[in-house]
Amino acid sequence: MDKKTKRLLGKGEIRKGIKMLAEKIDNDYEGASPVIICILKGAFVFLADLIRELKIPMKLDFISVSSYGDSSRTRGVVKILKDISIDIAGEDVIIVEDIVDTGLTLVSVHDFIKRKNPRSLKICTLLEKKVKRVKKVKIDYRGFVVPNKYVIGYGLDFGEKHRNLPEIRIMEL
Ligand code: 5GP
């Protein structure tokens, strides 16, 4: 790796955090069968581990969005690159995201999904940065609060690389 990185969350910590999230979701959705919508690409590793910890029956779908310009300078408009394919009207829906920073991506996706009239809509994110928030987001399930640094690994990229790292690392930019 050409840039310097430092470990933030190891495999064991991530696994423990995800187990706790799954337990909460299992409790909250007892007797229900929510549709889980994964925001591509960053959340796919988290999603794969989270759903295998869940005991409730569930359906799965994917949405792909791109921010206009660099995500660190997002202006709040996201483009839907791939929409979901399941009809979620009247369904309980959970959006799964990798990391919330300004909140702009999640608010856009939340509003887009909400217009499809789900019965309920909640948000689950593995990571949250609190410093640069410009949009208020109600996060229902959160794994870890992380410092205001650029993180990679466990699905998160830098220039499309490093998504395959099994742990989460801080990258010195
Ligand atoms: P927001 O719209 O909340 O500012 O940013 C959310 C999106 O920006 C995330 O889905 C992710 O794609 C990207 N992002 C924000 N912070 C980081 C980070 O530290 N590392 C990586 N790899 N992506 C980030």
Question: Considering only CA atoms, which of 88, 23, 81 is closest in space to residue 61?
Answer: 88
Tell me which residue has its CA closest to atom 20 in ligand 1. 151
Query: 27-76, pLDDT tens digit by residue?
Result: 999 999 999 999 999 999 999 999 999 999 999 999 999 875 554 554 55
Predicted confidence (pLDDT) at residue 114 exceeds the cutoff of 70? yes
Q: Is the CB of 49 under 6 A from ligand 1?
A: no
Which residues does residue 158 pair with via DSSP β-bridges, in sequence order?
A: 161
How many structural domains compose the chain?
1
Own/partner pairs for 119-124, CB < 8 Å, 24+ apart? 119/90, 119/91, 119/92, 119/93, 120/92, 120/93, 121/93, 121/94, 121/95, 122/93, 122/94, 122/95, 123/94, 123/95, 123/97, 124/21, 124/25, 124/50, 124/94, 124/95, 124/96, 124/97
Predicted confidence (pLDDT) at residue 173 exceeds the cutoff of 90? no
15 phi-psi bin (left φ>0, alpha ψ -120 to 50, beta other): alpha
Catalytic option among 2, 83, 101, 111: 101
Q: Is 101 a residue of the active site?
A: yes
CATH of the domain at 95: 3.40.50.2020
- Per-residue model confidence (pLDDT) at position 167: 98
Question: Considering only CA atoms, which of 24, 3, 7 is closest in space to residue 143?
Answer: 24
Ligand 1 center to residue 30 CA distance, Å? 31
Mean pLDDT rounded to a whole number for the chain: 93
Tell me which residue has its CA closest to atom 23 in ligand 1. 156
Ligand 1 center to residue 101 CA distance, Å? 6
Q: What is the dihedral of CA 90, 83, 95, 103, to 10 degrees?
A: -130
Strand intervals (E) in 15-58: 35-40
Percent of the chain with pLDDT over 70: 94
Predicted confidence (pLDDT) at residue 100 exceeds the cutoff of 90? yes
Predicted confidence (pLDDT) at residue 11 exceeds the cutoff of 60? yes
Query: 120-148, pLDDT tens digit by residue?
Result: 999 999 999 998 888 889 999 999 999 99
pTM of the model: 0.94
Residue in this structure with the two tokens 């690392």, named with its chain if needed: 169
For residues 95 and 39, the answer to whether their CB atoms sit within 8 Å is yes
Show the domain range for 47. Answer: 5-171
- Per-residue model confidence (pLDDT) at position 43: 98
Ligand 1 pocket test target in 63, 104, 105 with most atoms within 8 Å of CB: 105
